[in-house]
Amino acid sequence: MSPTVDLLIPQMATGDATSNHTRLIQQLLEEKGLETRVVVERKSRSDGSDLSVEKWKGDARVSILQHSIGSEVAQFVIRKKTPVVLNYHNITPASYFQSWQPELAKSVQRGRQQLGQLARLTRRGIADSEFNARELRDLGIDDVVVAPVLWKLGSGVPPSEPGDSTDIDGGGTVLFVGRLAPNKCQHDLIAAFAVLSRFRPEARLVLVGQASPPQYLHSLKSLARRLGVHGRVVFAGKVSDKNLLQWYQLSDVLACTSEHEGFGVPLVEAMANGLPVVAYDAAAVAETVQDAGIVIRDKRPVTMALALHRVLSDGQLRQSLRDRGVKSAQRFDISVTREQMWIALKDLVEVGD
């Protein structure tokens, strides 16, 4: 007998945000008494998946497809013309990868083509952000609900703990969290950091995240060397959750120069950990940060550096950002987002019970 809900995802991977999101949806639905099944491109014994898409018949009451870059799972849905709930996590424009990783550029192009085809099969779109929701509506999907990514927000700082209200003399640690990728524009951040070093010679920049593509990391290191800041830029790579929390707690400001964020998990994590946020206003960034961070419309090196300098030198501003951030991040607490997800799915999965 087929389950009530099939959860379709290209693959389940440890440490992957979409995989965690899928597991939490599964947990939510099973707690509501619904039978679920995880369908992947290729079933593995260890990843918690239940079925390879080759054997999937598309006969569950509801099929929820996680979609970002091009995948075989999405292709099966299109071939079978199975109506789905499309959980859309956005697709980075291919132009960002064209000159760095042409294979990835092709993959995201394919994802966008599939998105157009999936639009006709979508019963309901679920978008991480209003930014993503607009894309779905532009494709002609009328029924679109905004429900953020589900993840367990790690916070190490209680909201009431007083922050440092003085200037961080001559230094300060600027943090970026996320894949090192051309669309995240860490090169802009290193450029801004080079200017910041003029005002704050002891400042440090920490880039946490895996490189994708690797040659972009190579170029970032070249840039840091060329600008004479390589000794003050830490490429921490992919870190454990525990270490990530420590970086949030250790740092003085989170900077985001990304040009394409469908949601921005690190922005929320930083806010939850009382870390002030300075971000470039692009895609869903402003929507995620709201009035809890400094959002600037110009990320040229001098502007970004001055924004970081202002936060690092103004204790009152830091305290305000910290308080607002901690409060604002509560919007994305798992108890809240689970409820939003349930509201988004309830009428579909409970029909006929």
Q: Residue 144 or 195: which CB sits closer to another protein?
A: 195
Report the distance separating Cα 342 and Cα 87, nearest Å.
13
Do 129 and 332 meet the contact criterion of CB atoms below 8 Å apart?
Answer: no
Q: Residue 18 or 219: which CB sits closer to another protein?
A: 219
- We find the least distance from the C-beta atom of residue 154 to another protein, in angstroms, to be 16
Alpha-carbon distance values, 183 to 34, 108, 145, 180 (Å): 39, 13, 26, 9
Number of Cβ atoms within 10 Å of the Cβ of 14: 9
Q: Residue 123 or 230: which CB sits closer to another protein?
A: 230
DSSP result, 126-137:
EESSHHHHHHHH
Do 292 and 325 meet the contact criterion of CB atoms below 8 Å apart?
Answer: yes
- We find the least distance from the C-beta atom of residue 175 to another protein, in angstroms, to be 11
Q: Residue 217 or 256: which CB sits closer to another protein?
A: 217
Report the distance separating Cα 78 and Cα 219, nearest Å.
39
- We find the least distance from the C-beta atom of residue 82 to another protein, in angstroms, to be 10
- We find the least distance from the C-beta atom of residue 144 to another protein, in angstroms, to be 28
Q: Residue 320 or 340: which CB sits closer to another protein?
A: 320
Helix (H) or strand (E) holding 39: strand 36-40
Size of the chain in residues? 353
Q: Residue 15 or 237: which CB sits closer to another protein?
A: 237
Do 179 and 212 meet the contact criterion of CB atoms below 8 Å apart?
Answer: yes
Residue with tokens 């000794």: 231
Q: Which residues bind another protein (CB under 8 A)?
A: 41-42, 52-54, 72, 75-76, 79-80, 99-102, 173, 187, 191, 194-195, 198, 202, 204, 206, 211, 213-219, 221-223, 226-227, 230-237, 239, 243, 246-247, 250, 291, 293-298, 300-303, 306-307, 310, 316-317, 319-321, 323-324
- We find the least distance from the C-beta atom of residue 188 to another protein, in angstroms, to be 8
- We find the least distance from the C-beta atom of residue 41 to another protein, in angstroms, to be 6
- We find the least distance from the C-beta atom of residue 119 to another protein, in angstroms, to be 21
Residue 286's identity, in one-letter code, is A
Q: Residue 328 or 337: which CB sits closer to another protein?
A: 328
Structure tokens at 271: 């806010």
Helix (H) or strand (E) holding 124: strand 122-127
Helix, strand, or coil here: 85? strand
